[in-house]
Amino acid sequence: MIFGFLLVGVAFILLGFLQDLPDGWLFIVAATVLRMTEGIGSSLAFTGMYTLLPVLFPSRVGLVMGVFEVGSGLGFAVGPPIGGLLYTVGGFMLPFVSVGATVLLIIPPTFLLYKKTSCQPKVISFGVIRRLSGNFVFVLLCKLFQR
């Protein structure tokens, strides 16, 4: 999760510097790689958050997940206007650098929260995986041969 935040923060900051690249293939490749890096980091961070929140708040899982989802929705709703305002004030680079810096500033408190948990990884038996994969293969075959 922390590595995901690091990837997201660095990728966002570097996205702000894309304006300095020349037009053409270098720009396209750099933008694509940075966006993919940000996406991978986001998936790592969100997966970690969805597993850490129930551990930190076991008696209020529904409430905490609801607040988390409301926060995500508000971010999607309020983020573009704030990004537009930052773009108006500081140009192309400011929205990316400010979001990247904010994400990087989230890492220390997240690390402290993560250290407070005493989670031990659980070992999944291969029998469960075999059963799940068997069902998946069966469903996949049914879907393939469905008319």
Task: Quote the pLDDT of residue 46.
Answer: 87
Residue 47 main-chain phi, psi, to 5 deg: -60, -45
Rounded to an integer, what distance in angstroms lies between the CA atom of residue 93 and that of residue 122?
Answer: 43
Flag whether pLDDT at 44 surpasses 80. yes
Show Cβ contacts of residue 20 under 8 Å, excluding neighbours closer than 6 positions: none
Task: Quote the pLDDT of residue 94.
Answer: 95
Domain count within the chain: 1
| Percent of the chain whose predicted confidence (pLDDT) is above 70 | 78
Which residues span the domain enclosing 116? 2-144
Highest mean pLDDT (candidates 65-69, 109-113, 142-146): 65-69
| pTM (2 d.p.) | 0.72
